[in-house]
Structure 1
Amino acid sequence: MAMRPATPPQLRVHDARELAGDAPEAILRLDGMDYRLRITRSGKLILTK
């Protein structure tokens, strides 16, 4: 009986502009720590603690 590789879980997709709304940045919280996700003028993302 051949073993099949496990199917990777389906990743959820979140639109960064929807997260930020009208602002150029959003705060993401993980385990009580806040992280700032910023959308630059050139459309790149910067994540800082």
Structure 2
Amino acid sequence: MTATRPADFARPGASVLARMPQHDANELTRGGNQALIVLDEQVYQLRITRAGKLILTK
């Protein structure tokens, strides 16, 4: 599920943000508009709006 980044982001001097895991919301929702995300037994809902914005709710 991790998106591919250009090779220049993988170099040691790259910023911290460039080294953070990156996930495609469309893959998380399997092409739909909602997915559930679990953190420490808490369930959150990720939703992609019609306007293409992300909403994360508990």
Task: Say how many residue pairs are matched.
Answer: 43
TM-score by length of 2: 0.66
In structure 1, the gaps of 5 or more residues are 1-6
- What TM-score do you get using the length of structure 1 for normalisation? 0.77
Give the deviation of 1:18 after TM superposition.
0.5
Unaligned runs of 5+ in 2: 1-14
In terms of fraction of residues, the more helix-rich structure is 2
Q: CA-atom RMSD, angstroms?
A: 1.7
Match of 2:42 in 1: 33
Matched, 1:14 2:23: yes
In structure 2, what residue type is equivalent to 1:29? V
Q: Percent identity?
A: 49
> C-alpha separation between the residues in 2 aligned to 1:8 and 1:41?
31
Shift of residue 42 of structure 1?
A: 0.5
